[in-house]
């Protein structure tokens, strides 16, 4: 299934869907094509030409043409890339529903991280032609193994820290004098200089320094240098020489932002939300937050 749909413009919708069946000399190609169009809810316009259809309708025809052959594996090459945001999200849900109905294995190629997380049972993140990490969407998001995966699926705050001790349950690290704890089962490395991270929505803002708690990581103080209100949440940028630039996503449970530009704040998060990455940061000469910025810039250029 192609991103450009690749429908035959001189054929009707029904003829497009039946084309592959006829080439393979499958019995009752028209009847099977009608069933496939009913599956994508387009049986009522089967006599129209592709040019008479919207982008979303053409996408459904392309899907029906692929599904009607009942392949063991259906490859979808960025099929939603040409659609606008609202229609793309609608088609994500419909594609997932159709996949469950027909029971075929879909191999869906996409550069849209949200699309991959929404649709997939298993996500494979590829970097330079190699699979960097593969697993359930929640697993890859909550426990990325590398800097590339941590920044490709959503945003991450990354820090280069020094391991200073630990127990059989946790690894204790230090970041310019501050303590950051990571569960041993959630880190790929447990010695020397390592990269640890936390997702922006796991962080909490505080006006005063929180009370010391072994289960809570705290960094600060820092200064809020940017506030972006986006409706359901507010995104803050907090900066300090000790930890660089950190992103915080705060849910808007009350009216308006909870903190303002220029405020001095502390940041905290549960130690169980920290993850440790497999990358060797030794010799990079910069904080991992700088790595995060460069990786996101490279991703934006790629997209």
Instruction: Render pLDDT for 170-204 as a digit per residue (tens, 0 to 9).
Output: 999 999 889 999 999 999 999 999 999 999 999 99
Q: What backbone torsions phi and psi does residue 67 show, to the nearest 5 degrees?
A: -70, -30
- Number of residues assigned to the chain: 303
Same fold, 13-121 and 155-291: no
Domain ranges of the chain: 13-121, 155-291
Q: State mean pLDDT over 26-43.
A: 90
Give the confidence band of 103 by pLDDT, cuts at 50, 70, 90.
Answer: confident
Lowest mean pLDDT among 188-192, 251-255, 273-277: 251-255
Residue 39, pLDDT > 50, answer yes
pLDDT at 187: 97
* CATH fold for the domain made of 155-291: OB fold (Dihydrolipoamide Acetyltransferase, E2P) (2.40.50)
- Cis bond upstream, residue 102 (ω within 30): no
Across-strand partners of 107?
75
Global pTM value: 0.79
Whether 200 contacts 151, CB under 8 Å: no
| Conformation bin of residue 64: beta by default, left when phi > 0, alpha when psi is -120 to 50 | alpha
Q: Distance between the two ends of the chain, CA-based, in angstroms? A: 21
pLDDT at 302: 41
Q: State mean pLDDT over 124-146.
A: 95
Q: Calculate what percentage of the chain has a pLDDT beyond 90.
A: 60
List, as one string, the DSSP characters of 224-290: EEEEEE-SSEEEEEEEETTTEEEEEEEE--SSS-SS-TT-EEEEEEEGGG-EE-S---TT--S-HHH
Whether 147 contacts 123, CB under 8 Å: no
Q: State mean pLDDT over 43-54.
A: 92
| Conformation bin of residue 84: beta by default, left when phi > 0, alpha when psi is -120 to 50 | beta
CA distances for 225 relative to 151, 214, 239, 247, angstroms: 21, 29, 7, 10
Whether 216 contacts 210, CB under 8 Å: yes
Q: What number of CA atoms fall less than 13 Å from residue 184's CA on the CB side?
A: 9
CB atoms within 10 A of CB 190: 14
Residue 303, pLDDT > 80, answer no
Q: State mean pLDDT over 83-107.
A: 83
Axis crossing angle, helix 29-39 with helix 55-67, rounded to the nearest 10: 130
pLDDT at 256: 54
Across-strand partners of 235?
228, 249
Lowest mean pLDDT among 60-74, 141-155, 263-277: 60-74
Lowest mean pLDDT among 10-24, 178-192, 200-214, 270-284: 270-284
Residue 101, pLDDT > 70, answer yes
pLDDT at 232: 86
* CATH fold for the domain made of 13-121: Rossmann fold (3.40.50)
152 Cβ contact list (under 8 Å, min separation 6):
113, 125, 127, 295, 299
Q: State mean pLDDT over 115-143.
A: 94
CA distances for 279 relative to 81, 158, 271, angstroms: 32, 12, 20
- What does the alpha-carbon distance between residue 116 and residue 125 come to, in Å, rounded to a whole number? 10
Residue 255, pLDDT > 80, answer no
pLDDT at 218: 96
Mean pLDDT, the chain, rounded, equals 87
Give the confidence band of 98 by pLDDT, cuts at 50, 70, 90.
Answer: confident
pLDDT at 239: 96
């Amino acid at each position: 299934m192609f991103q450009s749909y690749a429908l035959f413009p001189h054929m009707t919708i029904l003829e497009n869907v039946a084309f592959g069946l006829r080439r393979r000399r499958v019995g009752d190609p028209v009847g099977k094509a009608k069933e496939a169009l009913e599956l994508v809810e387009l049986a009522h316009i089967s006599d129209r030409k592709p040019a008479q259809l919207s982008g979303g309708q053409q996408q459904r025809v392309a899907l029906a043409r692929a599904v009607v052959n009942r392949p063991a594996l259906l490859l979808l090459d960025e099929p939603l890339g040409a659609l606008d945001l609202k229609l793309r999200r609608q088609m994500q849900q419909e594609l997932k529903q159709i996949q469950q109905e027909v029971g075929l294995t879909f191999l869906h190629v996409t550069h849209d991280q949200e699309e991959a997380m929404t649709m997939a049972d298993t996500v494979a993140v590829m970097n330079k032609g190699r699979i960097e990490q593969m697993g359930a969407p929640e697993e890859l998001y909550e426990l990325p193994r590398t800097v590339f995966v941590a920044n490709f699926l959503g945003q991450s705050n990354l820090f280069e820290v020094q391991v200073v001790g630990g127990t059989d349950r946790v690894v204790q690290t230090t970041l310019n004098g501050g303590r950051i704890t990571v569960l041993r089962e959630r880190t790929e490395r447990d010695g020397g200089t390592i990269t640890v991270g936390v997702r922006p929505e796991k962080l909490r803002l505080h006006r005063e320094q929180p009370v010391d708690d072994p289960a809570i990581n705290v960094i600060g103080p820092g200064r809020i240098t940017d506030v972006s209100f986006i409706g359901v949440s507010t995104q803050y940028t907090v900066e300090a020489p000790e930890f660089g630039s950190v992103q915080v996503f705060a849910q808007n449970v009350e009216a308006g932002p909870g903190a303002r530009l220029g405020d001095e704040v502390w940041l905290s998060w549960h130690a169980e939300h920290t993850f440790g990455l497999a990358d060797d940061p030794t010799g990079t000469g910069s904080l991992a937050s700088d790595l995060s910025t460069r990786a996101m810039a490279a991703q934006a250029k790629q997209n």
